[in-house]
């Protein structure tokens, strides 16, 4: 598995296995075990996914050394604020059965973001977190909060795929050495994208699947990708993308699919209040 170096000096695998919307009924445990067996070494979870315990149990039962697995977790809005954030991480570490997480993100950019970030900075200094980052920050939200931070985020995890290349955001992040992580890198099952004639033509040319073409494109764009798959075959396919490279002309053609619009707008009025009201991770 290829890795890249973050702006804090730590390394991260360029592909992670995301467990969003995988139930906490044994399904997450099975999926993570399969992913690790398939070769993944980066697992992405969150307190608000309600499946941390199964992620941690699968990591323990995999037989793979802890320091060979990169674990990302995320702090939920309910735990924003300095003291609350500290408690939120400790709760997640307990659920995971781990002493530290490799990357910890502010899951949503609303509420007491500044004090939550201050807690993450201190927890990183104390060794409970290796790297810290943010998620779902648009350029406007980034400019609202990040100038108040003492240290830069290592990553910003946002929606990203060939139809939504986040160009204004990349213009801010790239000069700062902040990596973009892609959730929905395959468009969340977008049939139009996954059956696009241009991508089908390239899949035939490179003897790869359309999903592999998309993920390879994103890696060559310098993005960390977090594809989700339920079947072992698809898990294996999604990481079988290191034996070929898209040429410059094909990269340009895929980039032309960009519409500048995604399925989720973090700047929607009332978004923070709505998320907090609808997702309660504890009493």
Task: State the catalytic residues.
Answer: 49
Helix (H, G, I), strand (E, B) or coil at 25: coil
What single DSSP character describes residue 17? E
d(CA 20, CA 2): 23
d(CA 52, CA 181): 20
d(CA 103, CA 6): 11
Q: How many CB atoms lie within 10 A of CB 102?
A: 21
Backbone φ and ψ of 277, nearest 5°: -75, -30
**Helix extents (H) in the chain:** 27-38, 52-61, 82-96, 113-125, 139-145, 167-176, 191-194, 197-206, 210-220, 232-239, 248-255, 271-278
**CA geometry: angle 150, 156, 160, nearest 5 deg:** 165
Chain-centroid distance of CA 205 in Å reads 29
180 - beta bridge partners?
156
DSSP string, 100-150: -EEEEEESSS-SSHHHHHHHHHHHHHTTSEEEEEEES--HHHHHHHGGG-S
Cβ atoms of residues 224 and 179 within 8 Å: yes
């Amino acid at each position: 598995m290829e890795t890249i170096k973050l702006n804090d000096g730590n390394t991260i695998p360029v592909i992670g296995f995301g467990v969003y919307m995988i139930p906490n009924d044994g399904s997450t445990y099975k999926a993570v075990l399969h992913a690790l067996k398939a070769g993944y070494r980066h697992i992405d979870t969150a307190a608000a996914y309600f499946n941390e315990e199964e992620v941690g149990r699968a990591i323990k039962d995999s037989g793979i050394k802890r320091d060979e697995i990169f674990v990302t977790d995320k702090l939920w809005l309910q735990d924003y604020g300095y003291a609350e954030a500290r408690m939120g991480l400790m709760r997640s570490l307990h659920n995971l059965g781990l002493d530290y997480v490799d990357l910890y993100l502010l899951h949503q950019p609303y509420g007491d973001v500044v004090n939550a970030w201050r807690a993450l900075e201190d927890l990183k200094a104390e060794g409970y977190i290796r790297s810290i980052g943010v998620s779902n920050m648009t350029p406007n939200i980034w400019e609202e909060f990040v100038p108040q931070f003492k240290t830069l985020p290592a990553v910003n995890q946002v929606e990203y795929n060939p139809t939504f290349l986040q160009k204004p955001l990349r213009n801010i992040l790239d000069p700062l050495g902040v990596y973009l992580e892609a959730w929905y890198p395959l468009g969340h099952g977008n049939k139009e994208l996954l059956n696009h004639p241009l991508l089908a033509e390239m899949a035939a040319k490179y003897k790869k699947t359309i999903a592999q073409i998309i993920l390879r494109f994103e890696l060559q764009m310098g993005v960390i990708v977090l594809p989700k798959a339920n079947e072992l075959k698809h898990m294996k396919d999604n990481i079988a993308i290191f034996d070929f490279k898209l040429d410059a002309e094909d990269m340009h053609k895929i980039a032309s699919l960009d519409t500048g619009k995604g399925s989720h707008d973090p700047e929607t009025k009332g978004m923070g209040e709505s998320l907090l009201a609808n997702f309660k991770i504890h009493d």
